[in-house]
Amino acid sequence: MIRCLNCGTEYEGNFCPHCGQKGTVDKITLPFLINDFLSRFMDIDKGMLFNLKHLTLHPKKTIFNYLLGKRKNVLNPVSYALIATSLYLLITSQFEIHWIEKVELEKFKGAAYNNSFEAGKIIGTYTKFFWLLNILFLSIFSRLFFKKFSFLEHLAMNCFIHGHTTLLGILTFIPFRLPVVYDPFVFLYLIILNFMIFQKKGERFEIFVAAFFSVFFSYILFYMVPFILVLISK
Higher-confidence residue: 19 or 50? 50
Contact 162, 81 (CB under 8 A): yes
pLDDT of 225 reads: 72
Q: How many Å apart are CA 139 and CA 152, to the nearest integer?
A: 8
Q: pLDDT band for position 160 (50/70/90)?
A: very high
Q: Is the pLDDT confidence value at 104 over 60? A: no
- Tens digits of residue pLDDT in 176-233: 888 888 889 999 999 999 999 998 888 889 999 999 999 999 999 888 876 666 567 6
Q: Supply the pTM of this predicted model.
A: 0.73
Q: Positive or negative CA dihedral for 4, 8, 10, 16?
A: negative
61-70: long-range contacts (C-beta < 8 A, 24 or more apart)?
A: 62/160, 63/156, 63/157, 63/160, 63/161, 63/197, 64/197, 66/156, 66/160, 67/149, 67/153, 67/156, 67/157
pLDDT of 102 reads: 43
- Tens digits of residue pLDDT in 73-90: 888 898 899 889 988 888
Higher-confidence residue: 86 or 157? 157
CB within 8 Å of 145: residues ≥ 6 apart: 210, 211, 213, 214
Q: pLDDT band for position 40 (50/70/90)?
A: low
